[in-house]
Chains A and B, each alone.
Chain A
Amino acid sequence: MVMYEKTAEHFGQKFKDLPEGHLLVNLGPSHPATHGILQNVIQIDGERVVDTESVIGYVHRCFEKLGERYDYNQFLVCTDRMNYVSTPLNNIGWILTVEKMMQIQVPDRVTYVRMIISELSRIMDHIICNGIMGVDLGAFSGLLHLFHHRENIYQILEKLTGARLTTTFCRVGGMERDIYPEFQSEIKLILKGLKPALDEFEELLIRNKIFNERTKGIGGISAERAIAYGFSGPNLRAAGVAWDVRKDDPYMFYDKVDFDIPVGEDGSALDRTLVRMEEMRQSMRIIEQLIDGIPEGPYHADVPHTFLPPKDRVYHNMEELIYHFKIIMPGVKVPAGEYYHATEAANGELGFYVVSEGEKSPWRVHVRRPCFWYYQAFPEMVKGGLLADTIATMSSLNVIAGELDC
């Protein structure tokens, strides 16, 4: 058996002749502060970072290749495993792309629920990013304080989809099942508890002197460089650029709800944390506008050739059984063509580029994942800083290995 490995030459050439007194530090691939399998080989002079080499690919599963074998509903399972901190956002991004290609118009009820779940996922993601950042800098209580509320959101997802982490939310043409009766009241209860918790978290962690001094002005990037590196999402907004796919290229009903885009000033670790804090509040604002107005009606579009019939009817009726096999065996038929659809995921612009030849599986799937683009700038962001600051920079960037390698 051949052992495939990242060889020493991969980064050895760059660090061949180290000056006297310089050291190479290997941060990762398995390190408590990297959250995922990321490797950084850092050349240090005393405590100062001279140069960094990021080695990626440890979690690469080549979903783009799998996408050429799977059918359109099956690929949904792959999207679960991209950004595993906020899975429904990836699911919805993929489903919207396929629906746009097939020109399916889903009922308003579906779009409302999708938007609410999207924003809940964004809150989930930002809780992890900001909470874990505190943990990396030595403050454990902030994460635990918010994690209770994240758990509540997980329970909603569990009731809605049957899974907590790999939700596989939505199907082409609607949702797998309808929402349950207490859906609205439970979400309202979560928001009621989350609001004061966020304020407490801010007082506990972000106004803390130690946290402030360790993040203020650390790992900054200018707006110009951030755009040049293809940044998007909260990390770009922290640098002072108010771009948001939800506003710039609205999908679902984002053009009909009120929300603000928080921006930072210097793109430092503190700014990224603050932008994420404010985004959580804006997400709650969006949910509040939607939660009472979920319209009655079916939970899927009227597309029997695309949407799987409910299981209880499949087992007892001939018609539904036939439809079930007609969908499962040849797959969902997407007309030949190409489509690029961008959504605002928790980390930035998540785009799905699909090339279809009218067959069961796409001819080519490409995922534009935000992490992959902004992680390139990491060596530039930590250059000249202290070694300990690389931890703060990396945590605040929220690099998710599953999304980075895809």
Chain B
Amino acid sequence: MKEKLTEFIQSQWKDSLLPQRDINTNLLYFSIQKESLPTVVQTLKDHPEFAFTFLNDLTSIDWLGKREPRFEVVYLLRSPKNNHFRFQLRVPVGEGESVPSIAGIFPAANWPEREVFDLMGIPFSNHPRMERLIMPDNFVGHPLRKDYPLEGPGQDYLIEDLLTIHVEEDITG
């Protein structure tokens, strides 16, 4: 399965494939250009032999300070027909760029794409409703980005500082 799929993808989308990084992983993966993502997903879904009919997972990684471009959207597809074989499609995205949505191909991608937009700040084009999903509407920033402080925006103090402030405060008024 692995060899067949590799051969198929390499012959079909020679120009869209990006050079692979060497990752120590348990999954087969391909890096592709974001423009050709919907075509690849649709073709693999409709293909009678491969039949990747199940979208298993959709997420994103922020590589701030490690790699260029900064983000990577990761799609995990599963083929129930071929012994539930899983493989990854990885789409590198730069800051401020958008990725074509696959919500039209897999309805399941609707919420996960909104989640990625909400928490990581990667917009998806042609999505039926690209709004925040989990965070409130008036929230500023994207919490899963590496440059977003864990304690919240503008509150990059440490717990120790918080304790000192509390002790020094004159509670008697």
> Which A368-394 residues have a C-beta within 8 angstroms of B?
368, 372-373, 375-377
Q: Does B157 contact A (CB under 8 A)?
A: no
Q: How far is the CA of A349 from the CA of B57 in the complex (A)?
A: 10
Which among B57, B88, B110, B139 is the interface contact of A4 at CB below 8 angstroms?
Answer: B139
Question: Complex formed: what's the CA distance from A313 to B121 in Å?
Answer: 49
A5 touches B23 (CB 8 A): no
Enumerate chain A residues within 8 angstroms of B83, measured Cβ to Cβ: 248
What are the interface flags for B31-74 relative to A under an 8 Å C-beta threshold, 1 for contact and 0 otherwise?
00000000000000000000001111101011000100000001
Given contacts A230-B54, A368-B57, A376-B111, contact A248 B134 (CB under 8 A): no
> Could you say which of B25, B106, B108, B146 contacts A338, with CB atoms under 8 Å apart?
B25
How many chain B residues touch A (CB < 8 A): the figure is: 42
Q: Which residues of B contact A243 (CB under 8 A)?
A: 80, 84
What is the CA–CA distance of A230 and B80 in the complex, to the nearest angstrom? Answer: 12
Within 8 A of A (CB), among B110-156: 110-112, 115, 119, 131, 133-139, 143-144, 146, 148, 150
Indicate if B27 sits at the interface (CB-CB under 8 A): yes
Nearest B residue to A405 via CB reads: B134
Task: Give the distance in Å from the alpha carbon of A68 to the alpha carbon of B143 in the complex.
Answer: 12
Is B17 positioned at the interface, with any CB of A under 8 Å from its CB? Answer: no
Residue of B112, B131, B144, B150 touching A69 (CB-CB under 8 A):
B150
Q: How far is the CA of A68 from the CA of B66 in the complex (A)?
A: 15
Cβ-based interface call for A7 (8 A): yes
Residues 78 to 114 of chain B near chain A (Cβ within 8 Å): 80, 83-84, 86, 88, 106-108, 110-112
Q: Which of A245-279 contact B (CB under 8 A)?
A: 248-249
Closest approach, in angstroms, between the C-beta of A83 and any C-beta of chain B?
Answer: 17
A229 adjacent to B108 (CB under 8 Å): yes
- B84 touching A57, Cβ below 8 Å: no
Q: State which of A24-32, A59-67, A128-136, A282-290 sits at the interface with chain B.
A: A59-67
Chain B residues whose C-beta falls within 8 Å of the C-beta of A69 in the assembled complex: 150
Q: Hey, which chain A residues are within 8 Å of B88, CB to CB? A: 340
B59 to chain A: which residues have CB within 8 Å?
353, 366, 368
B144-173 residues at the A interface, CB under 8 angstroms: 144, 146, 148, 150
> B138, A64: Cβ atoms under 8 Å?
no
Instruction: List CB contacts (< 8 Å) of A346-380 with chain B.
Output: 349, 351, 353, 355, 357, 363-364, 366, 368, 372-373, 375-377
Residues of B within 8 A of A364 (CB): 61-62
Nearest A-chain residue to B118, judged by Cβ: A57
Which residue of A has the minimal Cβ distance to B26? A339
**Min C-beta distance of B72 to chain A, whole Å:** 10
A20 adjacent to chain B (CB < 8 Å): no
The interface residues of chain B lying within 8 Å CB-to-CB of A377 are: 107
Q: How far apart are the CA atoms of A405 and B135 in the complex, in Å? A: 10
Min CB distance, B168 to chain A, in Å?
21
- Does chain B have a CB within 8 A of A329? no
Docked CA distance A135–B131 (Å): 35
Known: A230-B108, A372-B111, A373-B111. A57 touches B26 (CB 8 A): no
Shortest B134–chain A CB gap in Å is 4
Residues of chain A lying within 8 A (CB to CB) of residue B150: 65-66, 69
The 5 lowest CB-CB distance pairs between A and B, nearest first, are: A337-B24, A230-B108, A57-B134, A4-B136, A248-B84
Q: Which A residues are closer than 8 A to B by beta carbons?
A: 2, 4-7, 9-10, 56-57, 60, 62, 64-66, 68-69, 100, 225, 227-230, 243, 248-249, 335-342, 349, 351, 353, 355, 357, 363-364, 366, 368, 372-373, 375-377, 405
Pairs A–B under 8 Å by Cβ, sample size 16:
A4-B139, A5-B136, A9-B137, A10-B137, A66-B150, A69-B150, A229-B107, A248-B83, A337-B24, A340-B86, A340-B88, A351-B57, A363-B61, A364-B62, A366-B59, A376-B108
